[in-house]
Structure 1
Amino acid sequence: MLKKIFLPAILVILAYGFWVSPHFKEIAAGVAIFLFGMITLEEGFKVFSGGMLEKILQRSTDKLYKSIGFGFITTALMQSSSLVSVLTISFIGAGLIGLTQGIGIILGANIGTTTGAWLMAGFGLKVKISAYAMPMLVFGVILIFQKAKSLKGIGYTLTGLGLLFLGIHYMKEGFETVKETIDLASFAVGGFKGLLIFIGIGILATVVMQSSHATIILVLTALSVGQISYENALALTIGANIGTTITAIIGSLSSNIDGKRLAGGHFVFNMVTAIVAVLFIDQIIVVVDSISNTLGIAADNHTLKLAVFDSFFKVMGVLMFIPFVDRLVAFLKRTIRSKHVPEVQKRDHAKFLNEATLELPTTAMAAIIRETKHLYENAFEVITHGLNLKRSNILSSLPLDEVIKDTYTEGAFDIDDFYNRNIKGIYGEIIDFSTKAQSLMSPSDIGTLYKLKLANRDIVEAVKDTKHLQKNLIKYTHSPNEHIREQYNGIRRDLAELLRTIHRISTAKEEDEIIVLLSKAKLHTEKYDILANGTLDNLIRNRLITNEMATSLMNDSTYAYNISTNLIAMAEIIFVDENNDLKELGTDTMVLNEEDVKTILKEEK
């Protein structure tokens, strides 16, 4: 209900402002152009980011100080802490980073926003930046229409900067024009009451514009022409810092539980920092004056002093919170929990697929990769139970002969129920999410996405083949006929070995090791094909098994063979060079192909 009222109310207020004061149009247009410039600059960042984000994240956020530095640099480059907050939620939703790393990025982003205030106060208000805006817009728009990704990225960046400069120009001109007819500074409110009122106005302005950066730039332009008092500008800055958390909270609504916790952490951090600033505002002003004097800033240069305040206020908040980050993470995990689902109704759902991860093609792809691995984890469980094996034994170093002796149950495992609860839903969510993500991706990414879809299909097919295999597996592993019993236990042993190999592949760090393991798995699968190696013919010819047993064994060996080939095909896609986000799938050519396998088998005969 509130959302339905909010937009019409803003439009009515703007229309009324245009009608009452023609000068208000120039200020509003300046804000609109500035915000559109930020959006365009964000697009430029997304074009340039490509598939490098995951690499940069892994190298730049493994320590808290690195996370803070990453947040600072990205915010300084993009001039938007709101965007960095939303992207960080997207990173967490995709499983690229953890909650502690995310909070570190948010802390750094808070400091990063101060660079915009310094650029504006030190440069933007003293130089006619509209002169720089026009060439940027001309060159930028031309480059946007080019096909080359790099040129398009440069075009968006230039256009975004041009619009930012143009927006600042119109805001400044608008306030100077308004000053001729009305002195807004006459509405200044002093004391603690004024502090609270203007903090509220700062929050409201930031919520409306969805950008604390835009609010601070607007405050600086108004302050530069004397339309607001210095004390009220300080309060507006504090309010803008609180208001920016609203964007993060809105962005977290479509994320997973850790994304919601990050938004909660962002809110706690900004609120506590604001409360401290309000309680010690007089002392902070004294410190700001002292720092300004040290830097040689004149006492009446309120715009630069506001930039000093903004920096001190935000750095102070980060320094306060650094020792308590771990406690904050623990508090967020205790207080913000996922909804409990009764065991009877419980269904496993996608962990990493959410609207927040669609923010970037990189995070969308990473989410699909991790969800595919999640699907395989569930499939691993159902396949092991279907083979009457224990998962813990397969993952151990226990000899395979011992693994197949330690059975899971005497009866049949309900694969249909497990499939419906833990496989089918996730598979459907992956396919649906992939369709949405595809519209944002480049042709090369779409090719990778297609391979991932095939990997998911292979996982599902392996589970279905396990279901077909299970019936006779239970029957003949308890048969008095030692020959048929040996063959079915051989199937169990071979599949157990394959599952163990795939687990080793999934945990291997070196690409060479992965390639060797995949090659051995392919060779093993072909080598134990009972139709190709003559085992079945020998059993039938020597009348060691009945015709019924032979038919069952032939069909079931095909199911086992299909399970093996599907799982190997899946492993080639999702476990080859994970750190490169599947960009190096060309290394598949180093794994034994079908012709190589046949050649090796012929040489062994």
Structure 2
Amino acid sequence: MIEPFKMTYTALGGLGVFVLGMKYLSDSLQMLSGGLIRKAIASMTTNRFLAVLVGIFVTCFVQSSSITTVMVVGLTNAGLMHLTQAIGVILGANIGTTITGWILAIQVGKYGLLLIALGVFPMLFSKNDTISGIAKVLVALGLIFFGLEIMSDAFKPLRKDEGFMNLMLALDGRTLLSVLGCVAIGCLMTMVVQSSSAMLGITIALATTGAIPLYTAIALVMGENIGTTITAQFAGIGGSITARRAAMAHTVFNVLGVMIIVTFFSTYVELIERFVPGEAGFADAQGTYPYIAAHIAMAHTAFNVTATLVMLPFLGQLAKLVTRLVPEREGAARGAFKYIGSPGTIPVSMGIPMVFEELKRMQARVHKALRHAGSYLQQDLKGRDRFYRKVTALEDETDIMQHEITTFVVTMMQAGSASNSQSDRAYSYVRAADELESIADYAASLCSYMKRLTKHELDFSEEAWKDLHHFHREVFAFFMLVSTDFKSPDTVSNTKIYDEAHRLNDLADEIRNRHVQRMKSGCCGALPALTFSDMAVALRRIKNHTVNLHEALYAKPPAS
């Protein structure tokens, strides 16, 4: 006899344990991956095959196609990935997520508690990141298997319930109408749960207890493939046009694939039954179906691999289709700064390189601010006031970027699980963003001092102007030298950076001494003298923050 309340809380509890295990598995694999995921992102090219492989690789580590597609939408939103690249990665993500089915197909549910027992103490008490990560994988697998076992036990009474079995007769997957009904249920449930892996776990748990037949289970899995696309659609809301098109490509691909499979669904299931060893309908002495999980996993894998291979030559056509489906709205806003998605949806191992990409964009804006400030210092330049407006606008923009990067990193580190090295790197980027913002501030200050001079119709001596322009050129060149850290780390040695910084300190001292001599000689008024001193100090502060930027990115300060 079914006890609805007991069955519900047991099934939900089992699902909770299962989902927790999936999260632990994702976190631990990302921690163990080190820089592999970052290198995978860096390898992105227009090569569609490489994009698919990157999608498979990343999804195997994050254990969720939804997370991968959300990250892809974020990358396209930030302009770091083209539409065809994004579609290729999404196709690969669909293949990568099928590994979850094979993990669930391993019939080791009874060993779930053993795996937890083996891994929990090293996970909690080991100070070695690698040992802790491996132990966390064991605990994660144990939670997954144990959660699946709890769900299976909760669903066992359903196979003897007349009402449920009558429903399954109507949704047996033998007719087109029943297949479409199962696809719709799987799609809707996945939209609600927001995890195709969780729904796959529920489907396999129902199938292994005999509550649903193979045809119904595979039809549900097809629906789950469609339902998982809703996450990317949510991520694309409010994003750039390319991000929304990438999300739409995910939906179109999965919907088209399922529609094609539905047309010959019975033949497809028969092929799966022939190909996978063991009869799906075989029940053991305990009344469970030990082989059906492997059949479901194979159906899931075969669908995604075949659909990807068929679609791969037509990525260009798919891109054109989604471009038509998601047209660019006339007059749509193109924000100068579009951050890369919500930190709660992005794993630490992927979020850190994304922050670095944003940091590079911030560096480009600071570079412009310094260059425009130099132009504003040229008194004989026509239309020079426009450079003042450009610098102040860039300074405002870097303020926003610094705030966003800091908020993103702190939220991401609180929400995710990071190794010590990942944590150090993430917070070094926060420091780098702060240094870049300070440089932009002093560039704006330099312009405001110049504006003060113009407002009061004052001037410097020819020698003073020569010193000021020379110091700006030297500081700007130093910033460009340190900025090579963004493109090719460790290209410039620490020794060269610090030697150059000391040389600029000496130059600043020489300029100050000459300025003092001019004041003593009486050839420099009070307000121009104060303004020159302020401008020289601003340039020196820019140099100091540039040194700090180098240390934040890749270097350690020299031993005292």
Q: Where does residue 589 of structure 1 map in the other structure?
A: 558
Q: Where does residue 407 of structure 1 map in the other structure?
A: 381
Q: Where does residue 23 of structure 2 map in the other structure?
A: 39
Shift of 1:241: 0.6
Q: Residues of 2 paired with 1:94 and 1:197: CA distance? A: 39
For the pair 1:269 / 2:253, whether they are aligned, the reply is yes
Counterpart of 2:508 in 1: which secondary structure? coil
Q: Where does residue 308 of structure 1 map in the other structure?
A: 298
Q: Residues of 2 paired with 1:322 and 1:446: CA distance? A: 36
Q: Residues of 1 paired with 2:536 and 2:72: CA distance? A: 43
For the pair 1:237 / 2:221, whether they are aligned, the reply is yes
Q: TM-score, normalised by structure 1?
A: 0.74
Paired residues in the alignment total 537
Shift of 1:247: 2.7
For the pair 1:324 / 2:303, whether they are aligned, the reply is no
For the pair 1:166 / 2:146, whether they are aligned, the reply is yes
Q: Residues of 2 paired with 1:226 and 1:138: CA distance? A: 30
The 1:437–1:557 alpha-carbon spacing in structure 2 relative to 1, beyond 3 Å, is farther
Counterpart amino acid of 1:511?
D
Counterpart amino acid of 2:234?
I
Tell whether the 8 Å contact from 2:474 to 2:504 is kept in structure 1 after alignment. Answer: no
Counterpart of 2:383 in 1: which secondary structure? coil
Q: Report Cα offsets for 1:46-97 as digits up to 9, x if no partner.
A: 5445666423432477843333223324434554323433454456667776
For the pair 1:502 / 2:472, whether they are aligned, the reply is no
Counterpart of 2:381 in 1: which secondary structure? coil
Counterpart of 2:339 in 1: which secondary structure? coil
Tell whether the 8 Å contact from 1:385 to 1:408 is kept in structure 2 after alignment. Answer: no
The 1:462–1:261 alpha-carbon spacing in structure 2 relative to 1, beyond 3 Å, is farther
Counterpart of 1:499 in 2: which secondary structure? helix
Counterpart of 1:160 in 2: which secondary structure? helix
Counterpart amino acid of 2:464?
Q
Counterpart amino acid of 1:552?
P
Q: Where does residue 5 of structure 1 map in the other structure?
A: none
Q: Residues of 2 paired with 1:561 and 1:358: CA distance? A: 43
Q: Report Cα offsets for 1:156-175 as digits up to 9, x if no partner.
A: 32222112111222333344
Q: Where does residue 169 of structure 2 map in the other structure?
A: 186
Q: Residues of 1 paired with 2:320 and 2:499: CA distance? A: 44
Shift of 1:316: 1.7
Q: Where does residue 69 of structure 2 map in the other structure?
A: 85
Range that drifts further, 160-169 or 420-429? 420-429
Counterpart amino acid of 1:585?
A
Q: Any residues of structure 2 matched to 1:123-522 within 5 Å, and which?
A: 123-124=106-107, 129-146=108-125, 148=127, 149-182=129-162, 184=165, 185-189=168-172, 190-253=174-237, 259-281=243-265, 284-285=268-269, 287-288=271-272, 292-293=274-275, 303=292, 304-329=294-319, 335=326, 340=331, 350-352=337-339, 354-356=341-343, 359-388=346-375, 407=381, 409=383, 411=385, 413-415=387-389, 418=393, 422-433=397-408, 435-437=410-412, 439=414, 444-445=424-425, 448-449=428-429, 451-471=431-451, 484-503=461-480, 505-507=482-484, 509=488, 511-513=490-492, 515=494, 518-519=497-498, 521-522=500-501
Q: Residues of 2 paired with 1:420 and 1:569: CA distance? A: 18
Q: Where does residue 65 of structure 1 map in the other structure?
A: 49
Counterpart amino acid of 1:246?
I
Q: Report Cα offsets for 1:477-517 as digits up to 9, x if no partner.
A: 996xxx81343144234423533453354356362436577
Tell whether the 8 Å contact from 2:436 to 2:549 is kept in structure 1 after alignment. Answer: no
The 1:527–1:26 alpha-carbon spacing in structure 2 relative to 1, beyond 3 Å, is closer
Counterpart amino acid of 2:306?
M
Q: Residues of 2 paired with 1:499 and 1:192: CA distance? A: 69
Q: Report Cα offsets for 1:360-405 as digits up to 9, x if no partner.
A: 3445544544444434433443443343359xxxxxxxxxxxxx69
Q: Residues of 1 paired with 2:310 and 2:201: CA distance? A: 26
Shift of 1:201: 0.9
Find the partner of 1:563 among 530, 535, 539.
Answer: 539
Range that drifts further, 295-304 or 72-81? 295-304
Counterpart amino acid of 2:159?
K
Q: Where does residue 103 of structure 1 map in the other structure?
A: 87
The 1:316–1:350 alpha-carbon spacing in structure 2 relative to 1, beyond 3 Å, is same
The 1:437–1:487 alpha-carbon spacing in structure 2 relative to 1, beyond 3 Å, is farther
The 1:558–1:220 alpha-carbon spacing in structure 2 relative to 1, beyond 3 Å, is same
Shift of 1:318: 0.6
The 1:488–1:90 alpha-carbon spacing in structure 2 relative to 1, beyond 3 Å, is same
Q: Residues of 2 paired with 1:478 and 1:324: CA distance? A: 66
Range that drifts further, 265-274 or 108-117? 108-117
Q: Residues of 2 paired with 1:45 and 1:327: CA distance? A: 35
Q: Residues of 2 paired with 1:373 and 1:537: CA distance? A: 39
Shift of 1:518: 3.6
Q: Report Cα offsets for 1:551-595 as digits up to 9, x if no partner.
A: 6256425423432442x344445567xxxxx67432x539xxxx9
Q: Residues of 2 paired with 1:358 and 1:83: CA distance? A: 6
Tell whether the 8 Å contact from 2:149 to 2:205 is kept in structure 1 after alignment. Answer: no
Counterpart amino acid of 1:310?
H
The 1:324–1:251 alpha-carbon spacing in structure 2 relative to 1, beyond 3 Å, is same
Tell whether the 8 Å contact from 2:471 to 2:508 is kept in structure 1 after alignment. Answer: no
Counterpart amino acid of 1:40?
Y
Counterpart amino acid of 1:66?
L
Tell whether the 8 Å contact from 1:144 to 1:155 is kept in structure 2 after alignment. Answer: yes
Q: Report Cα offsets for 1:185-215 as digits up to 9, x if no partner.
A: 4343532111111110111222233222333
Shift of 1:319: 1.2
Q: Residues of 2 paired with 1:77 and 1:269: CA distance? A: 23
Counterpart of 2:375 in 1: which secondary structure? coil
Counterpart of 2:558 in 1: which secondary structure? helix
Q: TM-score, normalised by structure 2?
A: 0.79
Counterpart amino acid of 1:316?
T
Q: Residues of 2 paired with 1:219 and 1:432: CA distance? A: 39
Counterpart amino acid of 1:529?
A
Tell whether the 8 Å contact from 1:188 to 1:229 is kept in structure 2 after alignment. Answer: no
Counterpart amino acid of 1:385?
H
The 1:329–1:234 alpha-carbon spacing in structure 2 relative to 1, beyond 3 Å, is same
Q: Any residues of structure 2 matched to 1:18-29 within 5 Å, and which?
A: 20=4, 22-23=6-7, 26-29=10-13
Counterpart amino acid of 1:154?
I
Counterpart amino acid of 1:138?
A
Tell whether the 8 Å contact from 1:476 to 1:484 is kept in structure 2 after alignment. Answer: no
Q: Residues of 2 paired with 1:327 and 1:569: CA distance? A: 52
Q: Residues of 1 paired with 2:519 and 2:12: CA distance? A: 88
Q: Residues of 2 paired with 1:92 and 1:516: CA distance? A: 38
Tell whether the 8 Å contact from 1:201 to 1:236 is kept in structure 2 after alignment. Answer: yes
Counterpart of 1:351 in 2: which secondary structure? coil
Q: Residues of 1 paired with 2:103 and 2:406: CA distance? A: 46
Tell whether the 8 Å contact from 2:182 to 2:223 is kept in structure 1 after alignment. Answer: yes
For the pair 1:75 / 2:49, whether they are aligned, the reply is no
Q: Where does residue 535 of structure 1 map in the other structure?
A: 514
Counterpart amino acid of 2:224?
A
